[in-house]
Amino acid sequence: MQDKSGKGAAGGSPAGGGSAAAAQNSLHLNGHTDSSNGHNPIITPSPQQQSDSQTPNPVPTSAAVVPRDQWGGKYEFLLSCLGYCVGLGNVWRFPYLCYRNGGGVFLIPYFIMLFVTGVPLFLMELSLGQYGSAGPIMVWKCCPLLKGIGIGMLCVSTLVCLYYNVIIAWTFYYLGSSFQSPLPWSCDAAANAAICGNGTVGNSSLERPRSPTEVFWNESVLGVVNSEGLHDPGPVRWPLALCLLAAWIIIFLCMLKGIRSSGKVVYVTATFPYIVLIVLIIRGATLEGSLQGVAFYLTPDWSRLANAQVWNDAASQIFYSLGIGVGGLLSMASYNKFDNNVIRDTIIITVGNCSTSFFAGFAIFSILGHMAWRKGVPVGKVADTGPGLAFVAYPEALALLPGSVFWSIMFFLMLFMLGIDTLFGNMEGITTAVLDEFPNLRRNTLHKSLFLGTLCFAFYLMGLLLVTDGGIYWFTLIDSFSTSFGLIIITLFMCIGISFFYGVNQFCQDIIDMICHCPPWCSKVLIYFKACWVFCTPFLLLFILIYIFLEMYNTPLHYGSYVYPRWGKGLGVCMGATCCLQILIWAVVAISRETGTLKERFKKSIRPLNSWRVNNQNSAARSEEHVEPERVEAPFTVTLTDMDFTAMTWETGSNA
């Protein structure tokens, strides 16, 4: 839609929505409006229109808009975020990283990275979502230039959802198999008599004897022995495909009613894993060799602190476990009440998540210590990482316990609950972003259900590639690159954009506005966060990014003995690049929509839309009065003027 005034926008300060300076300028912006949360754009006549008539344009009729959902209570939000953050990585990744990187000494870089990058970025995401009451795309009305960050988050979340539910499908398969007695991966099973009879790990007559758990994992579950590599996926393994379908049906049903239903589910899914972990820790403490495993887990190797790999692993685990930069946190926070204490929530969730990782190590290594004692080998010979720990080493350890069927059911039920919660958060990031872009879906329950059903079914169809004979090769590829350098770049730009474009002082003030009665300690804590957002966090993110690029260039990607071909690794790099390139693409789009010189276009594209203020004020009103103000229906493509921008002084970097 062309500017009816026929004049281009001139540069100038955006201060004062009704100021003389604003009245002289009109901004031609085709399609640059705010439609998040069902809010329609604020339409302001251009200066030419104002001069042509003394009477205002007729106001379109208002229409009822379905109110944006809110959490049923603060505990639902806390449990949902805790369940989202506490995932499978807490069980199989953190303990492995601990013993690989110096045991207990790994906690030093881990907690440094936690408090310098993890907690500040976690607070930033929660605050953005809660203050803007919008998902990962629409929330960037606070700085339209950076809308690509939200698109990039959506891309990362899509890749994560694609492979993460495959882990839940594996868990389903093992859970169903756990109801057999004896367990099909134990030496007591008749099918494994020949394998167990050939010798043990300590038998020197064999280079590396296969264990029943490895045979079950590689042949019965994955079928990877039938595939030659990435280029040879082979047929779909239908038992896994049915498990994957069941997993997506559960996700669909839990999300069907929005956060009102998923918020109730987390009372079970977020608390049950803790019950199982406590029981496993108590049971493991009574086993022979358990102290050997715990000692292996915690014994410090101080020389490891000088290794850059340790610091990179600590940072990657923070991102991996907290779910930063994927959009799930931001989306879940967008359903909060405006006056929710976001700093308190940040501290509770991050401390709870990291404590879970630490204590999960005791459950894991006490039982692995018993396994090592039974087999007469060092703990390092039975420990593994990734799926190998959850689906090979740990099932083998469970098979050695008295009452192995019961413990196996409990363990895989725990993994299922952990996976479901994390997938909830990732899916919430995608659905919230789409529903914000197309608010009509919120109004029509049938359309929303069809959208969710189509989305889940599309993920299921794409996920079938990962449950073929060679699916584990594709799984490893997506897992390695979906949350690699692309996620770090997205997070880095989010931190820089809020600190220097939106303004770190203004962002801190927004947080104080949300926490209406901010206690003195709250303001002092924000000084620390401000220092992290401006200096420490970007520096450490750059360090991590450089290290990832160096490691990616020098280290070949492999799964077991299979080394990925160059084209496979290139495909993974393209996945990561596609996510982070969204920042550049949408920045170019935002600048091209403005008028004036390049500098003027840039300044206009980093100014928050006026609806950034209007929408959060409406959120505050809903928080207090529980009513939804009327909105003005209007076409999506409109002509905006400088009065559509906030009536505050926004200068590049002035608040940093």
| 537 residue type, one letter | T
Q: At what angle do helices 147-177 and 445-463 cross, to 10 degrees?
A: 70
Distance CA(6)–CA(210), nearest Å, equals 77
In this structure, what are the phi and psi dihedrals at residue 638, rounded to the nearest 5 degrees? -135, 170
Mean pLDDT of 114-142: 91
- Give pLDDT, residue 388: 66
The better pLDDT of the pair 58, 558 is held by 558
Report CA 218 to chain centroid distance, whole Å: 29
Interval 507-523 mean pLDDT: 82
CA pair distance 429, 328, nearest whole angstrom: 4
Q: What is d(CA 341, CA 345) in angstroms, rounded to the nearest whole number?
A: 7
- Confidence at residue 60, expressed as pLDDT on a 0 to 100 scale: 40
Peptide bond into 182 cis (omega under 30): yes
Q: CA-CA-CA-CA torsion for 251, 255, 259, 261, nearest 10 degrees? A: -90
When pLDDT is averaged across residues 193-204 and rounded to a whole number, the result is 58
15 pLDDT band, cuts 50/70/90, is very low
- The 8-class DSSP code of residue 146 comes to G
d(CA 451, CA 443): 13
Query: Measured between alpha carbons, how far is 310 from 305 in angstroms, rounded to an integer?
Result: 7
Task: Detail the DSSP E strand segments found in 34-89.
Answer: 62-63
pLDDT at 118 over 80: yes
Indicate the pLDDT class of residue 386, thresholds 50, 70 and 90.
low
Tell which wins on pLDDT, 203 or 377. 377
Evaluate whether 142 touches 608 at the Cβ level (below 8 Å): yes
Residue 635 has pLDDT above 60, yes or no: no
558-559 and 26-27 as β-strands: parallel, antiparallel, unpaired?
A: unpaired
Residue 285 has pLDDT above 50, yes or no: yes
Length of the chain: 656
For residue range 412-464, what is the model confidence (pLDDT) as tens digits? 998 898 888 888 888 988 998 888 888 888 777 888 889 999 999 999 999 99
Higher per-residue pLDDT: 78 or 623: 78
What tokens appear for 77 in the block? 């939000």
- For the chain, how far is it from start to end, CA to CA, in angstroms? 36
pLDDT at 125 over 90: yes
Structure tokens at 473: 């090769």
Nearest Cα neighbor of 325 from 563, 202, 498 is: 498
Q: Which pair of structure tokens corresponds to residue 463?
A: 């996920």
Residue 329 · residue 123 · CB < 8 Å: no
Residue 197: predicted pLDDT:
67
Residue 146 — left, alpha, or beta (φ > 0 → left; ψ -120 to 50 → alpha)? alpha
Q: Rounded to whole angstroms, how far apart are CA atoms 140 and 134? A: 9
Is 50 exceeded by the pLDDT of residue 538?
A: yes
Predicted local confidence at residue 462, as pLDDT: 95
* pLDDT > 90 fraction of the chain, expressed in percent and rounded: 31
Q: What is the dihedral of CA 186, 187, 192, 196, to 10 degrees?
A: 140
- Give pLDDT, residue 626: 40
Domain ranges, ordered by start, for the chain = 74-180+237-584
Q: What is the mean pLDDT of the chain?
A: 79
Residue 631 pLDDT class (50, 70, 90 cuts)? very low
- On the question of pLDDT at 120 being above 70, the answer is yes
Distance CA 490, CA 581 (A): 9
With 70 as the cut, is the pLDDT of residue 138 above it?
A: yes
pLDDT value at residue 346: 92
Residue in the structure block whose two tokens are 């976690």: 122
Q: For residue 429, what are the CA distances in angstroms to 10, 152, 314, 584? A: 37, 12, 25, 21
Tokens of 67: 């109110």
- Identify the CATH number of the domain defined by range 74-180+237-584: 1.20.1740.10
Distance CA 518, CA 511 (A): 9
Residues of the chain with pLDDT > 70, as a percent, come to 79
Alpha helices in 464-593 (DSSP H): 471-482, 485-496, 504-514, 520-531, 537-554, 566-592
- Using 50, 70 and 90 to split pLDDT, how confident is the model at 91? confident
CA-to-CA distance for 131 and 117, rounded, in angstroms?
Answer: 21
More confident residue, 264 or 216: 216
- Summarize pLDDT for 327-353 with one digit per residue, the tens: 888 888 888 888 888 998 999 999 888
Q: What pLDDT is recorded for position 39? A: 39
Q: Which pLDDT score, from 0 to 100, does residue 450 have?
A: 92
Which pLDDT score is estimated for 384? 64
Please say if the pLDDT value at position 506 is more than 60: yes
| Tokens at 262, concatenated | 């998923």
Residue 51 pLDDT level (bands cut at 50, 70, 90): very low
**Could you tell me which residue, 317 or 495, shows the higher pLDDT?**
495
Res 165 pLDDT > 50:
yes
pLDDT exceeds cutoff 90 at 248: yes
Q: Which pLDDT does position 68 carry in this prediction?
A: 72
pTM for this model (two decimals): 0.80
Q: 425 or 653: which carries more pLDDT confidence?
A: 425
